[in-house]
Amino acid sequence: MFRDYFKKKSQSSHKDYEVSLKTCPNCGREVSSLSIICPYCRIDFRDTFTDERCSGCGQLIRQGDMKCPSCGFEYGEEFSQNDEEVTRLCDRGFRYIEDFRFKDAKVCFNRASKLNPYDINPIVGNAYCLYHLGYYVLSLKKCRQALKMDGNSIDDEFYSKVKKKAADIRN
């Protein structure tokens, strides 16, 4: 009798779970809400906030890409003309960091990176913002990108903190 009670309970507790669907922000197709990477266009949903929209077609492109993979729109010659705007955006972004407004600072640095992806200041600013927003692995990527451009661009103490946090997340 005791065995029969648990046998009946275990049979009735079995449930089929339904997984809802979500729309990919890049290709517009429906995918599982549990998906991390779109199976159609291969965009990583975890990084969509760092991606930018193409001026030509509106598809998501990686920040710093020089050419849209969808329509072929190229970003290029206008970089030297935008140096004053990049400096202004970076200054505003670093002021936002001082006021602990990291999301606003990230927006400024993303715009500055779009205007000139070869300027190191927006990359360093993005690294600080990502770290303080809790995106340690992305912050580490930005730090490494900045260090490839200039070996003295990132403070050693900050870089070691980012590496430690990113290692903790990965383990």
Each residue's pLDDT tens digit, 66-102:
667 777 766 554 455 678 888 999 999 999 999 999 9
Q: Which fold has domain 79-170?
A: 1.25.40
Q: What pLDDT was estimated at residue 77?
A: 47
Span 41-67, average pLDDT:
63
Q: What is the mean pLDDT of the chain?
A: 78
The yes-or-no verdict on residue 54 having pLDDT over 70 is: no
Residue the block writes with tokens 């590496």: 163
Q: Is the pLDDT reported for residue 16 higher than 90?
A: no
pLDDT value of position 81: 61
Task: Record the pTM.
Answer: 0.55
Which is higher by pLDDT, 36 or 13?
36
Is 49 a residue whose pLDDT tops 90? no
